[in-house]
Amino acid sequence: MKIRAFLVDDEPLALDRLRRLLALTGRVDVIGATSIPEEAVTALSLQPPDVCFLDIQMPRLTGFDVLARLPRQPIVIFTTAYDRYALQAFGVNSVDYLLKPVEPDALVRALDKVERLRAAGGFDRAGFEAILREVAGSMRTAAPEYPARIASRLGDRLCFLEVERITHFYSEDRLTWAVVDGKAYCVDLAIAQLEKKLDPKQFARIHRATLVNLAWIRDVSPLPGGSLALRLKDAKGSELTVARDRAADFRSRVEL
């Protein structure tokens, strides 16, 4: 009998990759998937799966918050891009974790564990809930962590861009692009979502359609009307404009 799985991740590209990897195993029936944590709470309550693949860091509700709202805890495999939440405690308490991007070998090992748990009749839910409360509490009091990589689709391939190498993001024709070494890569997040997701000490919103990596700014000069011109340290010496209504905030950010 195939493992019935539900997938939750706020990044649609990550959901698509996980769904494809699970299909390749031939061992899993994906009964549902969502990038909206509130929808996950409803779906998991109405139709509990054998296993839930659950992202930890999501807007509005974390993966821990989702679990706290469920009447019955499923077997959980956490997915995370943050090494800090490596979750060894969950690993010894009958659940597992996968670091993103999820690799096929690690996924197979996690599925093996799920099948062993199903054969044994489940897992220690009381112990799991105790650890869940402990880790969720430490997560709320810890300093926030930010992703080191952003996913981009290239045809049928999914590639991951190192955030520190991204000079800026911009939106055009309803698409969002990340620029690395002068080349633009399409990403599946809006500028407003990226602004919330990335380290505010590293990235600044300089226009409704532009987010710049402060480490890549070479120089700043004033423009007529109160806006600012930025020149970047990339090979092209790319130029960006700070909108007039954002100039004051930008000046304070870079101490101009």
Structure confidence at residue 89 (pLDDT): 40
Whole-structure pTM value: 0.59
In a domain, 108, yes or no: yes
Residue 255 has pLDDT above 90, yes or no: no
At residue 149, does pLDDT exceed 60? yes
Residue 217: pLDDT over 90: yes
Confidence at residue 99, expressed as pLDDT on a 0 to 100 scale: 79
**In 2-124, where does DSSP find H-type helix?**
12-25, 37-46, 63-68, 88-91, 104-120
Residue 215 has pLDDT above 60, yes or no: yes
Give the residue among 41, 1, 11 at the shortest CA–CA distance from 147: 11
CATH of the domain at 49: 3.40.50.2300
Q: Are residues 130 and 36 in the same domain?
A: yes
Q: Which domain holds residue 36?
A: 3-141
**Residue 157 in domain:** no
CATH number at residue 235: 2.40.50.1020
Higher per-residue pLDDT: 91 or 217: 217
Claim to verify: residue 51 and residue 13 sit in the same structural domain: yes
Q: Which residue has the tokens 């974390």?
A: 62
End-to-end CA distance of the chain, in Å? Answer: 64
Report the SS3 class of residue 4. Answer: strand
Q: How far apart, in whole angstroms, are the C-alpha atoms of residue 207 and residue 191?
A: 10
Q: Which of 82-91, 135-144, 178-187 has the lowest mean pLDDT?
A: 82-91
Q: Of 39-43, 77-81, 212-216, which range is least confident?
A: 77-81
Residue 35 above 70 pLDDT?
Answer: yes
Residues 128 and 169 in one domain: no
Q: Are residues 136 and 12 in the same domain?
A: yes
* Whether residue 133 has pLDDT greater than 70: no
The percentage of residues in the chain with a pLDDT greater than 90, rounded to a whole number, is 50
Using an 8 Å Cβ cutoff, are 104 and 21 in contact? Answer: yes
Q: Do 135 and 64 belong together in one domain? A: yes
Q: Name the residue among 18, 106, 8, 13 with its Cα closest to residue 57.
A: 8
DSSP string of 207-237, one letter each residue: ETTEEEEGGGEEEEEE-TTS-EEEEESSTT-
Task: Please give the torsion angle defined by the CA atoms of residues 182, 183, 186 and 189, in that order, rounded to the nearest 10 degrees.
Answer: -20
Q: Does residue 222 have a cis peptide bond before it, meaning omega lies within 30 degrees of 0?
A: no
The verdict on 103 and 19 lying in the same domain is: yes
What backbone torsions phi and psi does residue 217 show, to the nearest 5 degrees? -80, 125
Within 8 A by CB and 6+ apart from 152, the residues are: 13, 158, 159, 160, 161, 178, 185, 186, 187
pLDDT at position 59 is 75
Q: What is the pLDDT of residues 43-97, one digit of tens each?
A: 999 999 999 999 887 877 888 888 888 888 888 898 877 655 545 445 434 467 7
| 134 and 170 inside one domain | no
What are the tens digits of pLDDT across the range 97-107?
787 778 899 99
Whether 153 has a pLDDT exceeding 90, the answer reads no
